[in-house]
Amino acid sequence: MKLIVCESYEKMSEKAAEMIREQVLKKPDSVIGFATGSTPVGIYNRLADMYDKSELDMSGITSFNLDEYYPISNDSDKSYHYFMEQNLFSRVNISRDKINMLSGEAEDPLEECRRYEKRIEEAGGIDLQILGIGRNGHIGFNEPDKDLEANTHLTELSSDTIEANSRFFENKSLVPTHALTMGISTIFRSKKIILLANGRSKLNAIRELFSDHITTESPATMLKLHHDVTIICDYEAYSETSIGIDIGGMSVKIGAVENFKIIEKRIIDVVPGMTEKELIGAMTAVCADMKERYKANKIGIGVPGIIDENGVTSANLLFKQCKLDEIMSKALGVSVKAENDANCAALGEQAAGAGKGAANMLMVTLGTGIGGGIIINGRIYSGKGNAGEIGHIGIVPEGKPCGCGKRGCWERYASVSALIEMTEQAAEECPDSILAETAWNGVNGKTLFKAMDMGCDTAKHVFDEYIGYLAYGLDILVSVLDPELILIAGGISRENEKIIKPLSERMSVTVPVKTAELRGDAGILGAALL
């Protein structure tokens, strides 16, 4: 089965109409099978539009419709005869004598079905059949059942279909309980099939269609056996919602993510004294609610810290060797995967931010330390589990001591904490400088940039030294990883213009360097995509 996912109903209808036009251009006397319902209305509008603009000539085609309520008067405004007349037949130039529909007025429905099968055969079989899909997975009116009828037949509509179609009637009791419909084999004898689905109500049916099984309980799954089926869906009918969790020291951000967009975000504050159990409980409650409302079936968690066979140990020690993924998976009944937060952020940027299109990318997050996210061939590279600890590359032998126990680690020279330390030291050593004046009531990551803006040479000197360290570490990483792109993230990346150009100039290798775009959302997005 071929799948085309479109961003909107209009695009989907346009695509299908274009395929019909191609079929008619290729074979002007094509036999085309049409469907009714809300789904194909957009296609019919587009075909009428093409006809008005003389882009389409349907005079040679023969048409067969999938189904018709039974019994129903062909003149009734609820009949599919009426629907097709209003939506298509009166708007294009299909010859009246080549329009074939099952009659809801037929005295003998079985005879009517036989007549229809024969007519299709005489016409040489259907070249292209358009299908919608019921939310219960029906195609035509082949309803979920233990067994399905092969050929055109009289069928009883399921309560779900009556419920779904009641929107076209004054009330549910007026929906016909039976219909005449092409059977699964009738549909299968079509040379080519296009099935369309739009809207959230079709999500489950489409999931079934792309599942591993074929079952008469979801008749559309039979289409897996046909050799030429194209499924055209909009995002709502196709996409899966997953949940991304970004664990931070002060808060945990949880987002429902669909098509690379956060559709809902919730924040849990991590209050002092909160226990591991309490936080997991709060996270599970939010996820359970999102899972229920969005039918989400996957959760990804970005954790700042170590993930190994003993579980998750976060840097803030809220989690200590905690089997977070197992616990939450058991509580929620969905798959849960934990990954380092810097890796999640890199994945988020690569999927929906500044890294779009870069299959091999390095994201460097400058903060208290330096975090790294490595993407190789579009996937996170985590080595045995904790690759990306780039802040601890040794760049100065016997240099400044680091919290990790080693000396001379890159983050002691190129993190935001290191920048602040260098700023404080320079302000102390040059008390008459603009920098010292700017720093008098405290130093943060912006102090140095403020002083530089005021033309301070001392600040400029500190900045050059800092950029030198940053470039040195990046050079090492580029030699090892040869990425297509480097993204700089973290608060400091807001000084975009002041950093990126001098940094690129100081690096000895040429690799595009950009700042990350998604800020706080990259972690949620990436976690959801795990």
Cα–Cα distance between 351 and 363 in angstroms, integer? 13
Nearer to ligand F6R by Cβ, of 142 and 447: the residue is 142
Strand partners, 153: 181
Residue 482: C-alpha distances to residues 381, 446, 485 (Å): 14, 31, 9
Question: Cβ of residue 37: shortest distance to ligand F6R, in angstroms?
Answer: 3
What is the DSSP secondary-structure string of 60-92?
Answer: T-EEEESEEEES--TTSTTSHHHHHIIIIITTS
Give min distance, CB of 40 to ligand F6R, in A.
7
CB 329, min distance to ligand F6R, A: 34
Applying CB under 6 A, does 35 fall inside the site for ligand F6R? yes
Cβ contacts of 88 within 8 Å, gap of 6 or more = 34, 44, 47, 48, 94
Among residues 20, 51, 67, 390, the one that binds ligand F6R under rule CB under 6 A: 67
Task: Pick the closer one to ligand F6R by CB: 138 or 291.
Answer: 138
255-260: list long-range contacts, CB under 8 Å, 24+ apart.
255/521, 255/524, 255/525, 255/528, 256/290, 256/293, 256/294, 256/296, 257/524, 257/525, 257/528, 257/529, 258/294, 259/235, 260/351, 260/352, 260/525, 260/529
Q: Note whether 152 binds ligand F6R by CB under 6 A.
A: no
For the packed helices 41-52 and 9-26, what is the interaxial angle rounded to 10 degrees?
50
Interface segment toward ligand F6R; rule CB under 6 A; list 30-38, 317-325, 353-361, 391-399: 30-38
For residue 231, the cross-strand partners are: 3, 195
What does the alpha-carbon distance between residue 306 and residue 234 come to, in Å, rounded to a whole number? 39
Site string for ligand F6R, 260-279 (x = CB under 6 A): --------------------
The conformation of residue 98, written as its DSSP 8-state character, comes to G
Dihedral (Cα; 217, 223, 225, 228), 10-degree rounding: 180
CA dist list (Å): 416 to 152, 270, 443, 446, 467:
72, 23, 11, 10, 11
- Binding of ligand F6R by 255 (CB under 6 A): no
Distance in Å, CB of 84 to ligand F6R, minimum: 9
**Smaller CB separation from ligand F6R, 132 or 348:** 132
Residue appearing with tokens 């469907």: 35
Sketch the per residue contact string, 123 through 142, with ligand F6R: x for CB under 6 A, - otherwise. ---------xxx---xxxx-
CB 164 to ligand F6R: min, Å: 7
Choice from 36, 343, 415, 515 touching ligand F6R (CB under 6 A): 36
In the complex with ligand F6R, the residue whose CB is nearer, 113 or 427, is 113
Q: Which of 23, 39, 87, 155 binds ligand F6R (CB under 6 A)?
A: 39
Tell me the closest approach of the beta carbon of residue 261 to ligand F6R, in angstroms.
Answer: 25
- If one asks whether residue 490 binds ligand F6R (CB under 6 A), the answer comes out as no
| Active-site choice (67, 68, 117, 521) | 67
Min dist CB 502 to ligand F6R, Å, is 58
Q: Is 117 in the site for ligand F6R (CB under 6 A)?
A: no
Closest CA to 120 of 58, 69, 179, 182: 182
**Residue 66 near ligand F6R by CB under 6 A:** yes
User: What is the secondary structure of 175-189 as a DSSP string?
Assistant: S-SEEEE--HHHHHT
Among 33, 37, 355, 373, binds ligand F6R (CB under 6 A): 37
Q: Which two tokens stand for residue 429?
A: 């050593």
Q: Is 219 in the site for ligand F6R (CB under 6 A)?
A: no
Residues in binding contact with ligand F6R, number by CB under 6 A: 14
**CA-wise closest residue to 207 among 303, 135, 109, 126:** 135
Judged by beta carbon, residue 139 or residue 530, the one nearer ligand F6R is 139
138 is catalytic: yes
The least CB distance from residue 219 to ligand F6R, in Å, is 9
What's the Rg (C-alpha) of the chain? 31
Catalytic site residue 67? yes
CB atoms within 10 A of CB 337: 13
CB of 66 to ligand F6R, least distance (A): 4
Which of residues 139 and 361 has its CB atom nearest to ligand F6R in the complex?
139
The catalytically annotated residue of 136, 165, 340, 343 is 136
Q: Which residue is nearest to ligand F6R (CB)?
A: 132
Q: Which of 14, 81, 127, 138 is catalytic?
A: 138
* 150 vs 500, beta carbon nearer ligand F6R: 150
What gap in Å lies between CA 343 and CA 359, rounded to an integer?
A: 14
What stretches of 171-234 show up as alpha helix (H) in DSSP? Answer: 184-188, 203-209
Q: Give the residue numbers marked as catalytic.
A: 67, 136, 138, 143
| Residue numbers at the binding site for ligand F6R (CB under 6 A) | 35-39, 66-67, 132-134, 138-141
